[in-house]
Amino acid sequence: MKPELNSFVIVDAEKCTGCRSCEVACAASHRDDNSNFTIGNMDTPIVPRLFLVKDKEECATVQCRQCEDAPCAASCPTAAIKNDDGCITMDQAKCISCKTCTLVCPVGAIGFLPNFESAAVTGGIDRKPKSIAYKCDLCSSIGQEPNCIKVCPNDALKIATPEEDVNERRNKAVSDLLELVKKR
């Protein structure tokens, strides 16, 4: 087993109001044309790499958990999904739209969108897949904190670093225990 666990984005459902700012920021940061814009001139469909799920009382995001064993990568017949230094990324150019990754993803974090290039027919035969897979890549292409985290007005999203989080909880438990002992 790998000694380090991958980080991923996690939501505090008590803080999330379902405003969908994270979805818009995600879609904007993964556009082919990353020029400055306002949402009023975003002329492509809003396709976030995270999915907001809402019911009457709660809402939360579903997004890639960056699994260390990455069943999506293990099942991909074209190696379009791979582990790049602790981040599970997808090379959409290699995707053949077999949808195997969606079947094995334990959290349902992989979606498919139309491949608009497939409409271009070469020699009478369309050789490109009709749709391509996409998922959260922690904004690795922009090389900074994920945009969904930056824009959340309620600080509901954060990077979860499992090893650090476990150590924090242990340290807090020991500190609380010592305080209790001191009071006696």
What is the number of residues in the chain? 184
User: Residue 95: which pLDDT band, with cuts at 50, 70 and 90?
Assistant: very high
User: Is residue 110 predicted with pLDDT exceeding 90?
Assistant: yes
User: Is residue 102 predicted with pLDDT exceeding 90?
Assistant: yes
**Contact yes or no for 46/27 (Cβ under 8 A):** yes
Q: Please give the radius of gyration of the chain, using alpha carbons only, rounded to the nearest integer.
A: 20
**Contact yes or no for 131/114 (Cβ under 8 A):** yes
User: Residue 122: which pLDDT band, with cuts at 50, 70 and 90?
Assistant: very low
Tokens of residue 184, six digits: 């006696």
Q: Give mean pLDDT, residues 162-177.
A: 70
User: Residue 3: which pLDDT band, with cuts at 50, 70 and 90?
Assistant: low
Question: Which region among 67-71, 87-91, 128-132 has the lowest average model confidence (pLDDT)?
Answer: 128-132
**Contact yes or no for 70/88 (Cβ under 8 A):** yes
Q: Give mean pLDDT, residues 60-74.
A: 92
Q: Which residue has the higher pLDDT, 4 or 117?
A: 4
Q: How high is the mean pLDDT of the chain?
A: 81
**Contact yes or no for 11/68 (Cβ under 8 A):** no
- For the residues of 37-71, what is the DSSP string, one character each? --GGG--S----SSEEEE-SS-EEEE-----SS-H
pLDDT at 126: 56
Q: Which residues contact 40 (CB under 8 A, 6 or more apart)?
A: none
Q: Give mean pLDDT, residues 119-146.
A: 72
- For the residues of 76-143, what is the DSSP string, one character each? -TT--EEEETTEEEE-GGG-----HHHHH-TT---EEEE-GGGGS-BTTB--S-SEEEE---TTTTTT
- Summarised one tens digit per residue, pLDDT across range 10-43 is 999 899 999 999 998 888 887 766 555 555 666 6
User: Residue 128: which pLDDT band, with cuts at 50, 70 and 90?
Assistant: low
pLDDT at 121: 47
